[in-house]
Amino acid sequence: MLARRNESLMEALDSSIIRAQGLVRTFGRGSGSVTVLKGVDLEISAGRLIALKGRSGSGKTTLINLLGALDRPTEGKLEFDGSDLTSLTDRERDRIRRTKMGLIFQSFALFPLMSAYENVEFVLRVGDYPAKERKEAAVFALEQVGLKARMHHRPFELSGGEQQRTAIARAIAHKPKLLLADEPTAELDSKTGLHIIKLFRDLVTMHGISVVLTTHDPAIMEIVDQVYELEDGQIAASK
């Protein structure tokens, strides 16, 4: 029994959560158009902590938006957890994003008048979770990010690191398979930023979540499993 469970865990870790082939993203039309991604190939296994780097304007956010089904590629194939994201309707893509992905942004984007707990619970409410499950899931997520003791505080009463922890709790409360984080440490000092990355590492290790984050910070690149660099619209593994 245990052996079988280990086997299925290994299979889960071996399988790809993201498969991108020849992703192209062009903005605008005609002579004013700009092609930011020019054929990105990327395969990300389940249970990995991945950093995406590249100079400003290289297309990191553009790529994160494609992976998060917030935007569609101009050309190319993009599979998430076995589903071909390019062939789905907007509604189906929304459902996959809401149930299987968590998104985290640089600016935390918390509701200022709600406590940390209410911020997390509200998103579960929008996702139609039954009331009892919402409470348990919200408290569990806040516990995981080390914020249970402060969960009834509002964002302005929390430090930047605690606000980002709240945003992470909100992104993991529905137990997603993939977390996408666009410069999640940009507004934090470097020590707090490293704590946040260690939290991502724990989530990857304990729950097999995959995390793809963008960063400019070399210290963070040291900690992740793999760094990919965007250059001239294409991607190269650099660690």
Ligand X SMILES: Nc1ncnc2c1ncn2[C@@H]1O[C@H](COP(=O)(O)OP(=O)(O)OP(=O)(O)O)[C@@H](O)[C@H]1O
The residue ranges that bind ligand X (CB under 6 A) are: 27-28, 34, 36, 54, 56-62
Kindly tell me which of 60 and 97 has the beta carbon lying closer to ligand X: 60
Minimum Å distance from CB 61 to ligand X?
Answer: 3
CA 220 to chain CA centroid, Å, is 16
Q: For residues 238 and 227, is the Cβ–Cβ distance under 8 A?
A: yes
Taking the least distance from each CB to ligand X, the nearer of 36 and 196 is: 36
Least separation in angstroms between residue 206's CB and ligand X is 29
Closer of 53 and 177 to ligand X (Cβ): 53
Give 112's DSSP letter.
T
Give the CA radius of gyration of the chain: 18
Instruction: State the DSSP string of 142-201.
Output: HHHTT-GGGTTS-GGGS-HHHHHHHHHHHHHTT--SEEEEESTTTTS-HHHHHHHHHHHH
Residue whose CB is less far from ligand X, 25 or 134: 25
Least distance from ligand X to the Cβ atom of residue 76, Å: 16
| Least distance from ligand X to the Cβ atom of residue 205, Å | 27
- Per the listing, tokens 């348990």 go with 136
